[in-house]
Structure 1
Amino acid sequence: MHTPDASDHYFTARPASADERRSVAVQIAGRDVTVETAGGVFSPDHVDLGTQVLLRTVPGPPATGDLLDLGCGWGPVGLTLALSAPDARVWAVDVNERALDLVRRNAARLGASNLVAARPEEVPADVRFATVWSNPPVRIGKPALHALLADWLPRLAPDGDAWLVVGKNLGADPLQRWLASDAPDGAGLGLSVERVASAKGFRVLRVRR
């Protein structure tokens, strides 16, 4: 798995202070809400366009089970999962401590008590996910991204699926080919991959066991 350091765009060791946090009005799960964000996390001022495309494309999440937001940032995907499926357990996973602190704050603010914000190593190894929704951190580079997905996609439940949004200009099509061919051969994942949407320069990929 990608090991971040202090220079990594996606890694901030320190939670934001009260002075650094700011309130932003967004829409989550069809609700107009106010969340806390801060510099040092991805897209701190709004729900980024790729995530918007993802959330407009995916069907409603499973009502129960373990659900995963991989690379949660301040929480737009994980909060959507948690509010849409209140009887499920939602794991919001990130390596950025600032992001994890923000998503915990936002879950508490919105009453999403079923959301668990965690570093990757804090998720029990035996957890299997009914679905994974992710705007993955493609800018960590292709080897690290492949390692990240090879770590997590095998943890789909037998009937589970993953929904990934990736910019076309950031390698969506090569990633789709890798998931469909090299990844199963290299990791025994047995994946099927289809492009289910293409909008505003982004591809949404559905990955199944």
Structure 2
Amino acid sequence: MPDHYFDATPSIPDRRQDVTARIWGKELTFTTSAGVFSHDGLDKATAVLLRTSTPPAGGTILDLGCGWGPIACALADAGAGATVWATDPNERALELTALNASRLGVTVHAALPDDVPADVVFDEIWSNPPIRIGKQALHDLLLRWLPRLAPDGVARLVVGKNLGADSLQRWLTDQGWPTERVASEKGFRVLEVRRTT
């Protein structure tokens, strides 16, 4: 059975390479590896999320499904005073996220999902969620983390239109999470999910 980027410990060899991405006006260089999501560089969906969003000036932020850490590291680099957490079930991804944060001279708390302290709440959650884990698993993932938003907190999700962005928007709203499409570009939707209570 082939490895998936959401496997805890990829069996594929750890072949590392450097990639560069332009995020919020800066050229940032990251180390990636086989066995993690989009190891060849910044994927189109994440690029759309970053290009159509403005980094917050502070607060506590979660990168949900961080991969090698482009969102978390860019947020830590751009958001003076922000506390950035990054979580992923893939241990190699977390190792790369920590490495990339160190390389950029920023602080990112990279942790397995069960290792994020239960009392930490987030002003913002950013995610290119792992759609390919299946609809039920995705729903379970979102319902695990969205309640960790602070009052008036917001989650920014990027999802391919052809991967069910519009039905996910409806489902989130039906679950009591008002969701608005705030951007649409290159076949991707950026959804903003708000905590209202």
Shared fold per TM-score greater than 0.5: yes
Q: Which residue of 1 aligns with 2:148?
A: 155
Deviations 1:21-54 (A, max 9, x none): 1111222442213211011111111110000110
Q: Which runs of 5+ in 2 are unaligned?
A: none
Q: Secondary structure at the match of 2:152?
A: strand
Are 1:15 and 1:97, in contact at CA under 8 Å, matched by a contact in 2? no
Cα distance, 1:15–1:156 mapped onto 2, change above 3 Å = farther
Scaled by the length of structure 2, what TM-score is found? Answer: 0.93
Partner-residue secondary structure (3-state), 1:144: helix
- The partner residue of 2:6 within 10, 14, 39 is 10
Counterpart of 1:48, as a letter, is D
SS of 1:25's partner is strand
1:178 and 2:171 are equivalent in the alignment: yes
The CA distance in 1 between the partners of 2:138 and 2:49, in whole Å, is 18
Aligned length: 195
- Normalised TM-score (structure 1): 0.87
State the 1:80 CA deviation. Answer: 1.2
Q: Which residue of 1 aligns with 2:114?
A: 121
Structure 1 equivalent of residue 157 of structure 2: 164
Q: Aligned with 1:197: secondary structure?
A: strand
Which of 76, 80, 104 does residue 110 from structure 1 map onto?
104
Runs of 4+ in 1 over 3 A off after TM superposition: 5-9, 14-17
Cα-Cα RMSD: 1.9
Identity %: 57
Matched position secondary structure for 1:139:
helix
1:74 aligns with 2:40: no
What are structure 1's unaligned runs of at least 5 residues?
185-190
Match of 1:142 in 2: 135
